[in-house]
Chains A and B, each alone.
Chain A
Amino acid sequence: MAEEKIISEEAYREIEEMFHHVPKKSATCIEALKVVQKYHRWVSDERLKELAKFLEMTPHELDSIATFYNMIFRRPVGRHTIHVCNSVSCWIMGYEAISGYLKKKLAIDYGQTTPDDRFTLLPIPCLGACDHAPTMIIDEDLYRDLTVEKIDGILENYK
């Protein structure tokens, strides 16, 4: 029986397309990890091992990179990730009320996922929208000038 691939064929095709403009396959590894996440939400040990082989790296080499960057998830995340900015301008403008409300409403702490797999809550340093603090980003959607009152309505957009 042929060895079963656990990273999808589409993901492999996307990664392969990046090989042409770099001198070695491993140079695409950050982009490749992002592609794996796009299709599989997070990077499991099995997928990490498989991807490392594809990129001609050792799993440890690839893991040292995967664990270095904020946006590569080595643990399962929910269908939607909420990143709340906890950096200085948002701190001045009272982000703690926002994160406090989210934690209470979702009944989870930072780094946790709701039991229905809907949301993962994480802190993030600076989203580059400091003139509209406090801010958060859900998946790829930026929310600015946040108030506690706005949050329920925003969360409704994510099922």
Chain B
Amino acid sequence: MERPLTQHIKKDGSVLTLEEYEKVGGYSALKKALKSTPDEIMEMVKNSSLRGRGGAGFPTGMKWSFVPRGANTVTPKYLVANGDEMEPGTFKDRLLVEGNPHQLIEGMIISSYAIQATIGYVFLRWAYHVAAERVEHALREAYNAGYLGKNILGSGYDLEMHLHTSVGRYMCGEETALLNALEGKRANPRNKPPFPQVSGLFGKPTIVNNVETLCNIPHIIANGVDWYKQISKSPGGGGTKLYGASGRVKTPGIWELPLGTSLREILEVHAGGMQDGYKFRGALPGGASTDFLTEDHLDVAMDFEEVPKAGSRLGTGTVIVMDDKTCPVGMCLALEKFFAQESCGFCTPCREGLPWTAKILLALEEGEGKMEDIDHLTYQTHYMAPGNTFCALAPGAMEPLQSALKYYREDFEKHIKEHRCTYR
């Protein structure tokens, strides 16, 4: 089984140096790419059927194609690597950045070349101090080796690249909010259109791609579209996916597997099954803002088509497991408290609806719930449904709640009838 993104990441947690990266073929994809035209690179990425790994799954090549190109376009253009990774339960980009920062940088240079961007940013979450140090160091190495700066490898193409470490807000993961943060503003989302591809950072054409997405690019260029498609199990998208598991499983962790690997294989083979004394009750398949899946869904292929058919989303592909001794109401409270705190406060349904939701759930946990609270919670899931709020934060926050109300309704009712949390 091929693991292009993680095959060279060392088990001891130390970083792959530039020399080591070059020895295993690093930057050869860049050399190849610079001999092609930007349009050829874009065409290859389009044909590879790579889809964004940040959560939304938008086709990467198509996203790039909306950037104005040609001689008379606005400059400078920007490319930003989104390494904010603040989706609770998600820890995949950390591995890629800490383990092999040059893979990310190479992917960013090739991607920048494809859209003819001349400035790149790595946007990293504040908590990733080790990753930040390693990216800083790797950027210096790349400049010294001629992979960054003026006239890269004699091609005539110029690119500068900087690191920005965030100061902590979940909103920064949303691409337009991230751009506001990079401009030194509050990370409120922006209206779309105009889309960042046309008017992004400082009003210039900008592409924001997730770290894992960008790490795929050198491998697509080096090994070709056919290879990329055949390492996936999914008919709808190419490549591998970094899947993870947290919660009461025997061996929580992160694994690079073919896109479309089943939830059962991830949890039972790679995560080692449930810890002794605990039973599987459900899971959020792709981070905090995805709907619960239950035992009935264990055989779902974890890809962009099959997870929605089971009523959830692939999201970030990092699974949060709920065991039989964990209270679903308490879990929803932990989730909604997070979303309420991290709401940017810009639009009313989210700013008011999320704290209200968290308050009702707290009342249930404290034994003060009433039967009509279930109707109120259901109402919130409609009130903050997609289309009713400015961005995807609140609709995402409603996904675990709406599915918990469906699958674990008896737990909500029991909390109310017995005036207590029945798990304590």
Which residues of A does B touch, CB under 8 Å? Answer: 21-23, 26-31, 33-34, 64-65, 68-72, 86-89, 91-93, 124-133, 137, 140, 142
**Which residues does chain B contribute within 8 Å of A33, judged by CB atoms?**
167
Are B322 and A92 within 8 A (Cβ)?
yes
**Which residues does chain A contribute within 8 Å of B167, judged by CB atoms?**
30, 33-34, 69-72
Closest to B92 in A: A128
B278–chain A nearest beta-carbon distance, Å: 10
Kindly name the residue among A29, A64, A125, A127 whose own CB sees the greatest number of chain B CB atoms within 10 A. Answer: A125
Are A88 and B88 within 8 A (Cβ)?
yes
B4 at the interface (CB under 8 A from A): no
Are A125 and B246 within 8 A (Cβ)?
no
B399 at the interface (CB under 8 A from A): no
B190 at the interface (CB under 8 A from A): no
B368 at the interface (CB under 8 A from A): no
1/0 per position for B151-189, CB-CB distance to A under 8 A?
000000000101011111110000000000111111100
B205 at the interface (CB under 8 A from A): no
Interface-facing stretch out of B119-127, B218-226, B382-390: B119-127
Are A23 and B181 within 8 A (Cβ)?
no
Are A131 and B246 within 8 A (Cβ)?
yes
Interface-facing stretch out of B26-34, B296-304, B334-342: B334-342
Are A129 and B91 within 8 A (Cβ)?
yes
Are B334 and A87 within 8 A (Cβ)?
yes
Q: How far is the CA of A137 from the CA of B167 in the complex (A)?
A: 14
B407–chain A nearest beta-carbon distance, Å: 17
B129 at the interface (CB under 8 A from A): yes
**Which residues does chain B contribute within 8 Å of A89, judged by CB atoms?**
88-89, 246-247, 320
A91-B334, A92-B247 known; A71-B89 Cβ under 8 A? no
Q: How far is the CA of A33 from the CA of B253 in the complex (A)?
A: 35
B58 at the interface (CB under 8 A from A): no
A29-B184, A130-B246, A131-B253 known; A91-B331 Cβ under 8 A? yes
Are A128 and B128 within 8 A (Cβ)?
yes
Q: How far is the CA of A92 from the CA of B326 in the complex (A)?
A: 7
**Which residues does chain B contribute within 8 Å of A127, judged by CB atoms?**
127
Are A27 and B326 within 8 A (Cβ)?
no
Are B320 and A128 within 8 A (Cβ)?
no
Residues 312-345 of B contacting A (Cβ, < 8 Å)? 318, 320-323, 326, 330-331, 334-335, 337-338, 341-342, 344
Q: How far is the CA of A69 from the CA of B169 in the complex (A)?
A: 6
Are A88 and B338 within 8 A (Cβ)?
yes
Are B184 and A30 within 8 A (Cβ)?
yes
Contact of A92 among B170, B184, B248 (CB under 8 A): B248
Q: How far is the CA of A140 from the CA of B127 in the complex (A)?
A: 8
**Which residues does chain A contribute within 8 Å of B196, judged by CB atoms?**
none
Q: How far is the CA of A71 from the CA of B170 in the complex (A)?
A: 12
Are B338 and A131 within 8 A (Cβ)?
no
Are B185 and A65 within 8 A (Cβ)?
yes
B244 at the interface (CB under 8 A from A): yes
A30-B181, A127-B127 known; A87-B247 Cβ under 8 A? no
Are A92 and B331 within 8 A (Cβ)?
yes
Are B185 and A130 within 8 A (Cβ)?
no
B227 at the interface (CB under 8 A from A): no
Q: How far is the CA of A89 from the CA of B90 in the complex (A)?
A: 9
B391 at the interface (CB under 8 A from A): no
7 shortest A-B CB distances, which residue pairs?
A70-B168, A130-B246, A131-B252, A69-B167, A89-B246, A87-B88, A91-B334
Q: How far is the CA of A21 from the CA of B120 in the complex (A)?
A: 11
**Which residues does chain A contribute within 8 Å of B129, judged by CB atoms?**
140, 142
Residues 61-111 of B contacting A (Cβ, < 8 Å)? 85-91, 93-94
**Which residues does chain A contribute within 8 Å of B187, judged by CB atoms?**
68-69
Are B88 and A130 within 8 A (Cβ)?
yes
Are B184 and A88 within 8 A (Cβ)?
no
**Which residues does chain B contribute within 8 Å of A28, judged by CB atoms?**
184
